[in-house]
């Protein structure tokens, strides 16, 4: 018998719905963003619909922060679950104005934890309020749909591929809005997607699915360097959160601190102390036995080899712990088996990690940008660096 | 217009009264029925939809015959009428309303059912995730979204009742002031060779029918443009 745990999202559903079967069980903290990741058609949406109560599966279990929504004896119908659900298509009510769409699920007594003005400001929908949904662009509609879900004062926000029906431009725009939600609102979120690039930017926790089954669940950074999970893939990368510690105005370099490393990345200035998510791809990291004396790379750090994972016949992915003695952040490096053998590398060896390229994924305090509905501004979050 | 007796105006009032009352009942009965048929997956829904559709293909005399039996002194109607001291519902205004409702029901249910089916499940799911109970979602989301279908159904129901004849003759009994509606009047004019009056009345009803169908087309076109 499963029990509800305060501070956690506990979910277990198994069974078959409309011909496709799922067997899912996971438990993640009820804070931050949990991404459910898997190829299209693997049952992610079915799982989300089960959480919302839209697919009544017997024998399911769902408890959010200690509150049981469903177990052997209880089944709360969808309208009695304090959930905010963002569908892939915005699905605004076409007979209501944007304002009345936003207020549809808002409780009537005025003072609410998530206030109307705050949401309008956060999603920049003030100019749209009195329009009809039929006169909005796809990105604008999805922003209103997110705002509408937030104003229903949920205890859990579920977003089912909210970018799925949008073009590339609108995707970037919405993604930067979604990125800002977790720091403005203390609300656990479940983000469903099949694009690892989105998930690397947003997620704190990751639930991986394949053919209806949850194959792994845990903190994103743990699964990223887990040999059995993401580290084994060709696109392996880590996305650690760094702290801005300064700016070198002469060369236009942002100084970022990771555990065991101090990175220099060409980027616009950010306020010191701000958190900044990075992306370091395994293919952008190489290793050397000795500190290179003269070279163009500026991000070279001592590191210790924590693990060696063969990738195909010719390559090897190394898990490297940055810092002398290997006590810092772990990153991945992809090298050829030829280099591995000729350098005589082995587990536990101290080496130097050379980072060719570090991408800045998101910023908690982005530089002032006005994202207007019709002309989305150049994306500040894609700033990337080559040394 | 000297040829028109006050009885004709009486008949016009009666016709409009009948059509209005019938329309109100049709909407109250037809809307939930259309909702159930559109959303139920059970075979019963199709069976009920088929029964509702029967008056479309049966001659009005068949429906009239069964209604006479049902509403007459030995039927349910007689039982009902005895509650207020009557003997029968046949040849009464109430009987006429029952007959009109049944014969127009398929025409009213169809557009409303289509409107409910066209919106799909999604708006109701969205409403549910926004804490709307099923009843609240029906009134605040489903019904407003299906308003074109409901309006179409109401207009068709009203117009069809104005133009109904066979069923009126079968169960109305053509009693002036009580069951003698316009279409029956026209029949009388023709029977008594009052061609002038007949042509006036027939012409007026043609214009009315034209206006109704034109209105329906405009509603269809207008709402079609709105949704794109």
What is the C-alpha to C-alpha distance for residues A12 and B35, in angstroms, rounded to an integer? 34
Q: What is the pLDDT of residue B155?
A: 92
Among B179, B184, B178, CA closest to B163:
B184
Judge if pTM exceeds 0.95: no
Structure confidence by residue, pLDDT tens digits, B54-82? 998 988 888 888 888 888 877 777 777 77
CA distance B143 to chain A (A): 10
- B16 at the A interface (CB within 8 A)? no
∠ CA A51-A53-A57, rounded to 5°: 90
CA distance B149 to chain A (A): 14
What is the C-alpha to C-alpha distance for residues A311 and A294, in angstroms, rounded to an integer? 31
Q: What is the pLDDT of residue A77?
A: 93
A100 to chain B: nearest residue by CA?
Answer: B140
CA atoms within 13 A on the CB side of B99: 34
Structural domains of chain B, with CATH: 2-227 (1.10.3720.10)
Report chain A residues whose CB lies below 8 A from the CB of B130.
Answer: 79, 104-105, 148-149, 152
Q: What is the dihedral of CA A49, A50, A55, A56, to 10 degrees?
A: -160
**In 10 A of CB B88, how many CB atoms?**
18
**In 10 A of CB A146, how many CB atoms?**
24
Nearest neighbour of B141 by CB, restricted to A93, A134, A148:
A93
Strand order in the sheet with A315-322: A285-288, A350-355, A299-311, A315-322, A330-336
What is the C-alpha to C-alpha distance for residues A354 and A350, in angstroms, rounded to an integer? 13
CA distance A387 to chain B (A): 48
Note the Cα A331 to chain centre separation in Å: 18
Q: What is the mean pLDDT of residues A232-252?
A: 87
Q: What is the pLDDT of residue B12?
A: 86
Instruction: Give B72-126 as a DSSP string.
Output: STTSHHHHHHHTTT-S-STTSHHHHHHHHHHHHHHHHHHHHHHHHHHH-SHHHHH
Among A44, A161, A36, CA closest to A91:
A161
From first to last of its 228 residues, what are the pLDDT tens digits of chain B? 455 677 788 888 888 999 999 999 999 999 999 999 999 988 999 999 999 999 989 888 888 888 888 888 777 777 777 777 777 777 888 888 999 999 999 999 999 999 999 999 999 999 999 999 999 999 999 999 999 999 999 999 999 998 888 888 888 777 777 778 888 888 888 888 888 888 988 998 899 989 988 988 888 788 754 443
Nearest neighbour of B145 by CB, restricted to A78, A94, A104:
A94
Place of tokens 């609108």: A170
Longest dimension (CA), chain A: 71
Structure tokens at A65: 């922060």
Confidence of residue A366 (pLDDT cuts 50, 70, 90): very low
Q: What is the mean pLDDT of residues A6-27?
A: 87
Give A75's DSSP letter: B
Is the pLDDT at A380 greater than 70? The verdict is: no
Which residues make beta-bridge pairs with A24?
A13
What is the C-alpha to C-alpha distance for residues A71 and A48, in angstroms, rounded to an integer? 16
**In 10 A of CB B86, how many CB atoms?**
14
Structure tokens at B206: 């043609």
Is the pLDDT at A381 greater than 60? The verdict is: no
Q: What is the pLDDT of residue B207?
A: 92
Structure confidence by residue, pLDDT tens digits, A103-112? 998 887 766 7
Which residues make beta-bridge pairs with A385?
A358
Structure confidence by residue, pLDDT tens digits, B148-159? 999 999 999 999
Confidence of residue A335 (pLDDT cuts 50, 70, 90): very high
Q: What is the pLDDT of residue B101?
A: 93
Is the interface score ipTM higher than 0.90? no
B132 to chain A: nearest residue by CA?
Answer: A79
Report chain B residues whose CB lies below 8 A from the CB of A152.
Answer: 129-131
Among A231, A203, A232, A235, CA closest to A218:
A203
Longest dimension (CA), chain B: 66
Confidence of residue A365 (pLDDT cuts 50, 70, 90): very low
Which residues make beta-bridge pairs with A219?
A205
Sequence-distant (≥ 6) Cβ neighbours of residue A186 within 8 angstroms: A31
Exposure letters A10-45 (e unless 16+ CB within 10 A, then b): bbbbbbebeeeebebebbbebbbbbbbbbeeebbbb
Is the pLDDT at A236 greater than 70? The verdict is: yes
Structure confidence by residue, pLDDT tens digits, A38-85? 988 888 999 999 999 998 888 889 999 989 999 888 899 999 999 999
Is the pLDDT at A207 greater than 50? The verdict is: yes
What is the C-alpha to C-alpha distance for residues A33 and A50, in angstroms, rounded to an integer? 19
Report chain A residues whose CB lies below 8 A from the CB of B132.
Answer: 79, 104-105
Structure confidence by residue, pLDDT tens digits, A131-163? 999 999 888 999 999 999 999 999 999 999 999
Exposure letters B40-69 (e unless 16+ CB within 10 A, then b): eeeeebeebbeebeebeeeebeebbebbbe
Structure tokens at B42: 């059970």
CB pairs under 8 A between A and B: 61
Q: What is the pLDDT of residue A52?
A: 93
CA distance A47 to chain B (A): 15
Report chain B residues whose CB lies below 8 A from the CB of A80.
Answer: 131
CB A122 within 8 A of CB A182: no
């Amino acid at each position: 018998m499963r029990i509800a745990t305060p501070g956690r999202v506990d979910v277990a559903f198994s069974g078959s719905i409309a011909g496709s079967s799922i067997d899912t069980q996971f438990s993640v903290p009820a804070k931050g963003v949990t991404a459910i990741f898997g190829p299209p058609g693997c049952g992610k949406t079915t799982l989300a619909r089960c959480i919302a109560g839209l697919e009544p599966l017997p024998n399911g279990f769902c408890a959010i922060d200690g509150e049981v929504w469903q177990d052997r004896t209880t089944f709360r119908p969808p309208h009695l679950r304090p959930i905010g659900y963002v569908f892939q298509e915005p699905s605004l009510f076409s007979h209501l104005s944007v304002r009345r769409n936003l207020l549809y699920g808002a409780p009537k007594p005025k003072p609410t934890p998530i206030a109307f003005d705050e949401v309008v400001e956060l999603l920049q929908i003030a100019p749209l309020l009195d329009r009809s949904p039929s006169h909005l662009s796809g990105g604008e509609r999805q922003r209103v749909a997110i705002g509408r879900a937030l104003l229903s004062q949920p205890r859990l926000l579920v977003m089912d591929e909210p970018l799925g029906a949008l073009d590339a431009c609108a995707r970037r725009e919405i993604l930067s809005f979604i990125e800002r939600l977790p720091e403005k609102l203390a609300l656990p979120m479940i983000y469903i997607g099949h694009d690892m690039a989105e998930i690397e930017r947003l997620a704190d926790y990751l639930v991986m699915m394949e053919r209806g089954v949850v194959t792994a669940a845990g903190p994103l950074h743990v699964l990223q360097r887990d040999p059995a999970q993401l580290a084994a893939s060709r696109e392996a990368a880590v996305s650690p959160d760094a702290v801005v510690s300064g700016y070198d105005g002469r060369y236009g370099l942002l100084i970022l601190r990771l555990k065991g490393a101090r990175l220099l990345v060409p980027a616009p200035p950010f306020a010191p102390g701000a958190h900044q998510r990075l992306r370091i791809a395994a293919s952008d990291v190489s290793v050397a036995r000795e500190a290179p004396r003269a070279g163009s790379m500026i991000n070279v750090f001592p590191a210790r080899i924590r693990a060696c994972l063969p990738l195909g016949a010719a390559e090897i992915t190394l898990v490297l712990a940055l810092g002398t003695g290997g006590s810092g952040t772990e990153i991945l490096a992809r090298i050829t088996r030829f280099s591995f053998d000729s350098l005589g590398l082995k587990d536990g060896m101290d080496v130097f990690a050379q980072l060719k390229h570090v991408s800045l994924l998101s910023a908690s305090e982005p530089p002032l940008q006005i994202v207007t509905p019709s002309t989305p501004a150049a994306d500040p979050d894609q700033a990337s660096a080559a040394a | 217009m000297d040829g028109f007796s006050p009885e004709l105006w009486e008949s016009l009032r009666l016709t409009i009264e009948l059509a209005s009352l019938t329309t109100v009942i049709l909407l109250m009965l037809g809307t939930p029925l259309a909702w159930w048929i559109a959303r139920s997956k059970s075979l019963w829904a199709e069976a009920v939809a088929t029964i509702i559709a029967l008056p479309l293909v049966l001659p009005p005399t068949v429906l009239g015959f069964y209604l006479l039996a049902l509403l007459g002194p030995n039927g349910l109607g007689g039982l009902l009428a005895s509650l207020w001291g009557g003997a029968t519902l046949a040849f009464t205004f109430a009987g006429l309303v029952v007959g009109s409702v049944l014969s127009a029901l398929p025409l009213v249910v169809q557009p409303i059912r289509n409107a409910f089916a066209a919106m799909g499940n999604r708006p109701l799911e969205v409403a549910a995730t926004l804490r709307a109970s099923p009843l609240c979602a029906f009134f605040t989301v489903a019904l407003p979204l299906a308003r074109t279908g409901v309006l179409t159904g109401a207009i068709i129901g009203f117009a069809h009742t104005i133009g109904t004849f066979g069923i009126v003759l079968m169960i109305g009994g053509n009693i002036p002031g009580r069951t003698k509606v316009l279409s029956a009047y026209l029949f009388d004019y023709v029977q008594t060779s009052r061609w002038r009056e007949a042509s006036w009345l027939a012409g007026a009803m043609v214009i009315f029918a034209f206006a109704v169908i034109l209105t329906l087309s405009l509603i269809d076109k207008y709402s079609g443009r709105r949704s794109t």
